[in-house]
Structure 1
Amino acid sequence: MQAICVAGKNEIAIEGLRYVVDIYPDSNIFFIPNKNDLGVDTWQPSFKKYALGRGIKQVNLEDLYEIENLVFLSLEFDRIISPKKFRGAQLFNVHFSLLPKYKGMYTSALPLLHGEVTSGVTLHFIDAGIDTGDIIAQIEFDIDPGDNARDLYFRYLANSKKLLRSHIDSILSGEFSSIAQESMGASYYSKSSINYSSLSIDFNKCAFEISNQFRAFTFREYQVPRFEGWQIIGTEILLDKSHLKPGAIVSEDSGSFVISTVDYDLKLKKDYYPILWVASESGDVLALELALKFVDDINARNENGWSALILASYHGQIALIDTLLNCGASMSVVGYNGTTPLMYAFSYYERHGDERAFKMLLSRGADVSAVDNAGKSLRDYMIERNCLGLIQYA
């Protein structure tokens, strides 16, 4: 009987395991999560949580070494694989770059730093090197000029799922071909190639190069580059040339800075999302109205997975809930655990006995029957917590 192990993290590992379990249920199926996967959904779903929820056996790498007829899928796995330790195994990896370029680390940042206009995902054999195995298949895609590292990462996810769906049957059956990687054009970057503990922008560069630095280092769940105390959420290369010292401020307004560079001036767009989220929590209507002039997505979630409407609902901010809903905030945008704004408004009622936020969301069409990632509805929580004052609405 064939044995299959999926190792890794996030949506791509879940996608691979889901396919294997659904299509090959008679195989011996195992999984290995990354070391930092605590079994809790964050901005990405937990692979460990999903796999255990499907009843899949968790193993260690060492448990696999003696298994014959093993297919091993590395999907954002955090450990280096030594093929010689395995007995009769077929070892595969999906790498987030268009190999042979960008072997190794930081594939969501380095192509942007280098001004690449395309990237891709690669399905390849795992050999004794780092991302050096023969290539089975690739998907190439364009990088948009406004893409930051987070955008590029999600392009990798979307295209790696397509790559898996197209080729997983062939690698499990052994009916595929592969080609050796080219030596020309290859590149490799180690963990030391970017020091994320002390990121800084080098302004003694051309506008294009500075813009690429901001793009490469913008990944909201991890960091957003700063300038003059502001997080910078985007850039725009202008046609003007101020010829001031590179990095000097040419002008500033409520929404942006304009700075000088080696060549063209560069607009740095101020990040108003933190102001939006803080205002939604504190009830600052004026700050909210200001932030709404400068944000593109009113439903964007912060690093904790909370949208402005969720924050306002959890803190019972009636005026802000009304403003946000009138400006297009969605009650279907939920937290990492699937918790709805109405559930958060119930939490406010539970803590303070104030039902106004709850009733406002209800009057605007909130779905009382929605369930979270644990499969629980609002009514379930009311009963579980013995807080029944609003149960007639659920």
Structure 2
Amino acid sequence: MAHKILFLGYDKGRTCLIKELEKHGCTIDQTTEKLDWDKDYNNYNLIVSFGYSHIIPAEFLEKHPRKTINLHISYLPFNRGAHPNFWAFYDGTPHGVTIHEVDQGVDTGDIIYQKKVSFSDEKNFAETYARLISEIEQLFIENIPALLAGDYTPASQQGEGTYHKLSDLPDFDGGWEADIEATISALKMSKGR
């Protein structure tokens, strides 16, 4: 069966997943734009969100026949929201990637697949971010047939977890190329932690 996919967020220049879905015979419509959610999107077999910066309204989620899925570079329920890679280091929470159903909350939907990730050679935030992107793309690719067929059993998130807004990110020297250990240590010292 040919699948028609609405891919929200990254384009072919930012992710390999669109090409991978095309290899499975899928037709892809991709956008980074905020959509008119009052339109009928029921002609899509699946909606995938990866790097999409707009909130999908609850009313849309309720009327689409199949759950929208999101790819998030954290080990949910930890580090919902913005900059999950940074907050996993700062808060000392698990690193990982999660494919989950989208619900009315921010990264609170049921988990479809997830994987813990540990780092050894990566020393800065940019390197760990690139690794997490690679890991979530691989997790998605390994499970494309099941994701297309809806052949998975989602599980609710367990525990309280954590959440961070864009505005929570502190200023720090060096940007994403900064050494992680030195940056986290300096930030915690400045906060008296």
The interval holding the TM-score normalised by the smaller chain is 0.7 to 0.9
Q: Which residue of 2 aligns with 1:62?
A: 36
Task: State the secondary structure of the residue aligned to 1:219.
Answer: helix
Bigger relative contact order (CA 8 A; separation at least 6): 2
How far off is 1:219 after superposition?
Answer: 1.4
Deviations 1:292-335 (A, max 9, x none): xxxxxxxxxxxxxxxxxxxxxxxxxxxxxxxxxxxxxxxxxxxx
Aligned 1:126-205 pairs, distance under 5 A: 126-144=102-120, 147-184=123-160, 186-195=161-170, 199-200=171-172
Q: Which residue of 1 aligns with 2:19?
A: 18
How far off is 1:169 after superposition?
Answer: 1.6
How far off is 1:145 after superposition?
Answer: 7.9
Task: State the secondary structure of the residue aligned to 2:67.
Answer: strand
Task: State the secondary structure of the residue aligned to 1:122.
Answer: strand
Query: TM-score with structure 1 length normalisation?
Result: 0.41
Task: State the secondary structure of the residue aligned to 1:79.
Answer: coil
Aligned length: 181
Alpha-carbon distance in 1 for matches of 2:68, 2:166 = 23
Q: Is the 8 A contact 2:80 2:163 kept in 1?
A: yes
> What is the one-letter code of the residue matched to 2:6?
C
Aligned 1:316-331 pairs, distance under 5 A: none
Task: State the secondary structure of the residue aligned to 2:70.
Answer: strand
Identity %: 21
What is the Cα-based RMSD across aligned positions, in Å?
A: 2.9
Structure 2 gap ranges (5+):
none
Query: TM-score with structure 2 length normalisation?
Result: 0.80
Counterparts in 2 of 1:101 and 1:183: CA distance versus 1, 3 Å? same
Counterparts in 2 of 1:139 and 1:23: CA distance versus 1, 3 Å? same
Structure 1 gap ranges (5+):
36-59, 201-213, 225-232, 237-246, 248-260, 263-394
Q: Which has the larger radius of gyration?
A: 1
Deviations 1:346-386 (A, max 9, x none): xxxxxxxxxxxxxxxxxxxxxxxxxxxxxxxxxxxxxxxxx
Q: Which residue of 2 aligns with 1:219?
A: 176
Q: Is the 8 A contact 1:13 1:75 kept in 2?
A: no
Aligned 1:34-73 pairs, distance under 5 A: 61-62=35-36, 65-68=39-42, 70=44, 71-73=46-48
